[in-house]
Amino acid sequence: MAALAYNLGKREINHYFSVRSAKVLALVAVLLLAACHLASRRYRGNDSCEYLLSSGRFLGEKVWQPHSCMMHKYKISEAKNCLVDKHIAFIGDSRIRQLFYSFVKIINPQFKEEGNKHGNIPFEDKISSVKVDFLWHPEVNGSMKQCIKVWTEDSVAKPHVIIAGAATWSIKIHNGSNEALSQYKMNITSIAPLLEKLAKTSDVYWVLQDPVYEDLLSENRKMITNEKIDAYNEAAVSILNSSTRNSKSNVKMFSVSKLIAQETITESLDGLHLPESSRETSAMILMNVYCNKILKPVDGSCCQPRPPLTLIQKLAACFFTLSIIGYLIFYIIHRNTHRKNKPCTDLESGEEKKNIINTSVSPLEILLQSFCKLGLIMAYFYMCDRANLFMKENKFYTHSTFFIPIIYILVLGVFYNENTKETKVLNREQTDEWKGWMQLVILIYHISGASTFLPVYMHIRVLVAAYLFQTGYGHFSYFWIKGDFGIHRVCQVLFRLNFLVVVLCIVMDRPYQFYYFVPLVTVWFMVIYVTLALWPQIIQKKANGNCFWHFGLLLKLAFLLLCICFLAYSQGAFEKIFSLWPLSKCFELKGNVYEWWFRWRLDRYVVFHGMLFAFIYLALQKRQVLSEGKGEPLFSNKISNFLLFISVVSFLTYSIWASSCKNKAECNELHPSVSVVQILAFILIRNIPGYARSVYSSFFAWFGKISLELFICQYHIWLAADTRGILVLIPGNPMLNIIVSTFIFVCVAHEISQITNDLAQIIIPKDNSSLLKRLACIAAFFCGLLILSSIQDKSRH
């Protein structure tokens, strides 16, 4: 009864809500969200620097998240590179002095907080010619005015950045009197034009006063109340913002420190000065404000302008625009033709006459329709991760953000289960299920930022290895059984693997190696193909006649293993091979192939393990050693129970080892050799019991069929800033944002999968003569792409 109710319920859901209707809903959601964000940008402004300087929240205890953009954590070398030959001046009281120290420590962490507290403090890094000065002016008075006035003179070198602010001393010295506030207003009014003049050539920031923790203030500071501080801040904001009559003030208000202080002032030692972590956050915000537009870090979207379109991107936009126009023209003509061929009524008999029309869809229509859809999807990709239309946020890992979604998908996966069509080991439904749940776990791992937690990282490395294991197993099995080494098969696989990535490289202006998993799978597919296709071609049909051929195949595999070991321990030889043009254009990242070597080496043996497992399994299957009937254990009861016990122990042993890892580098070194233990243990646990082999999760299998598209699409339309952050479609509600962005992301991935399949049938025909012509066109396309890419690289340099 339960099964019947489940099937009826599923049929009812599918009747009212199909994949097609889901995609329509996703399209409507994208259009509405884009319109809302455009309206918001027009109303609130498009300057993310303002958000960085004025708003944000804490993720956890110490991670600051600016509103709508991502903040980069600058390293010493990056800070020096940005500030080379620059002069930064801090003017103000002890709070500004604290900010000065925190800023300098980004450049030189060994700089000590010592010297005359009520005097000027200089800092200079002679190697990078960075000069940072603190000028002691605790009150907004004539002394501060004179200091600023000197810089306005044409003959004097001006600081590139000026950070000023003061008020608490005025409150303290004058015992919080109203006369002092009036004098403060007069003084800041006289300074405002000078600051505005400086702001035309330098970056000028006025730091608003942070709140105090009144309970901790000493007796001689009790008059410094938050009410007084708010009054002084209001005066500063109103005067500085109205210093120019007809335009917006160039002096920027640094008000974000107030928000930071509200959360952390209770940790203050004296109630007045902020704890060190808060000062470091404010200093890092200043660094982001100035340096992001210079260094353009990927994970520092605040204050970064939209990158200019490259020549290749402009050509791609023209191509997709023409495809959309062409499809619309084709659709209109086809629709008019269809109307003319509508059934008409016979006046004599009163019956409908049906015209004979060809209802088959032409390849040209499929081609135009596919590129039309792809063009619209690529526009969404660009809007999400290049156009700064939607917001982005930094990742922040907590155990709950990773493990709770894992539990959710596990429950859903168990709930949606069905019987398999066949009960062989690693049958199609089972491998789709395996890919599906692994892909969902990897997605949760990426969006939760779980790479910072080493035990989770090591288990995710096994899942990536398991994908490559399936690559070795699947392709070896196909070539071994079918013996199809034709060019059509190779082109089909290469097209399906690489089509989306090539399009994204063009549209998003990213190198091929950036999407590292696809190059990895592509290269390993070619390695498997070459290994088996080279003379002597040994396939199952030939080997069945003579056991000698099995030995020959094992020799081939042994030679492959020898080559893998040589390249793994000879980085120089590996880099020479992949640094050759045009391979270098595919495998270089940031000017070298080290990243590619690291990725390849990390899972260097697992594809070989997959091939070897496939060979042993198919040999045992051929000799009928395995019992693969429905409900039957794979081996005899004793052997099955023994292998199950060994598998469970091995699985848990690996998990314990991975969970006790202390050093990522050391664990990565061992990973290639030991990852296969957990993979094989999982396969045996999943396949030895007959009942486990006879069912699969249709929920996971559905995602498994689009796992490659999900893995690639996440880079730009689920995550953000090339996977460094999170895409924010609905600000202020993280849970709703994840639900909506995930729904759109999955719909897009599914549609791209269908587009790829449709285009593969047209672009890679079965007829060899037609295929060779298409390959010549594809080769010409890539040659043109390489030439344009070289022109772009030269223009950039």
pLDDT tens, residue by residue, 478-494:
999 999 999 999 999 99
Do 184 and 231 contact (CB within 8 A), yes or no?
Answer: no
| DSSP helix/strand/coil, 483 | coil
Cα distance between residue 241 and residue 452, in whole Å: 43
Cα distance between residue 132 and residue 85, in whole Å: 11
Q: For residue 516, is pLDDT > 80?
A: yes
Residue type, 104: V
Question: Beta-strand (E) ranges in 384-486?
Answer: 391-394, 417-419
Give the least confident one: 152-161, 254-263, 748-757.
152-161
Name the residue with higher pLDDT: 233 or 249. 233
Report CA Rg, the chain: 33
Residues 421-426: contacts with CB under 8 Å, at least 24 apart: 423/628, 423/629, 423/630, 423/631, 423/632, 423/690, 423/693, 423/694, 424/621, 424/628, 424/693, 425/617, 425/621, 425/626, 425/628, 425/634, 425/683, 425/687, 425/693, 426/473, 426/617, 426/683, 426/687
* DSSP state letter for 452: G
For residues 589-618, average pLDDT: 95
Do 472 and 524 contact (CB within 8 A), yes or no?
Answer: yes
Q: What's the pLDDT band for 346 if we cut at 50, 70, 90?
A: very low
Q: What is the pLDDT of residues 643-669, one digit of tens each?
A: 999 999 999 999 999 999 889 999 999
Task: Give the closest residue to 444 by CA, choosing from 404, 502, 489.
Answer: 404
Task: Give the closest residue to 171 by CA, choosing from 127, 227, 240, 88.
Answer: 227
Residue 536 CB coordination number (10 Å)? 9
Structure tokens at 791: 């022109």
**Cis ω before 455 (30° cut-off from 0):** no
Of 102-116, 142-156, 559-573, the range with the highest mean pLDDT is 559-573
Structure tokens at 308: 């200019």
Q: For residue 776, is pLDDT > 60?
A: yes
Cα distance between residue 736 and residue 43, in whole Å: 23
- At residue 792, the pLDDT reads 84
Element (H or E) spanning 4, and its range?
helix 2-16
Residue indicated by tokens 């990536």: 464
Cα distance between residue 670 and residue 461, in whole Å: 12
500 to 322, 444, 749: CA distances (angstroms): 19, 22, 10
- DSSP state string for 616-674: HHHHHHHTT-S--STT--SS-HHHHHHHHHHHHHHHHHHHHHHHT---HHHHHHHHHHH
Task: Give the closest residue to 256 by CA, choosing from 101, 41, 48, 39.
Answer: 48
Q: What's the pLDDT band for 690 if we cut at 50, 70, 90?
A: very high
For the chain, percent of residues with pLDDT exceeding 70: 94
Name the residue with higher pLDDT: 88 or 1. 88
Q: For residue 246, is pLDDT > 60?
A: no
For residues 296-319, average pLDDT: 92
Q: What's the pLDDT band for 43 if we cut at 50, 70, 90?
A: confident
For residues 355-363, average pLDDT: 60
Task: Give the closest residue to 698 by CA, choosing from 421, 326, 512.
Answer: 421
266 to 272, 275, 406, 581: CA distances (angstroms): 10, 9, 36, 60
Cα distance between residue 10 and residue 5, in whole Å: 9
Residue 300 CB coordination number (10 Å)? 26
Q: For residue 239, is pLDDT > 90?
A: yes
- At residue 1, the pLDDT reads 45
Cα distance between residue 712 and residue 518, in whole Å: 8
Q: For residue 716, is pLDDT > 90?
A: yes
Q: Enter the pTM of the model.
A: 0.92
Phi (first) and psi of residue 697, to 5 degrees: -90, 110
| DSSP helix/strand/coil, 716 | helix
For residues 175-203, average pLDDT: 94
Element (H or E) spanning 322, and its range?
helix 311-340
Structure tokens at 379: 């526009």
Q: For residue 356, is pLDDT > 60?
A: no
Give the least confident one: 200-209, 236-245, 756-765.
236-245
Residues serving a catalytic function are 94, 270, 273
Q: For residue 16, is pLDDT > 80?
A: no
Q: For residue 547, is pLDDT > 90?
A: no
For residues 597-617, average pLDDT: 97
- At residue 358, the pLDDT reads 44
Q: What is the pLDDT of residues 428-468, one digit of tens each?
A: 999 999 999 999 999 999 999 999 999 999 999 999 999 99
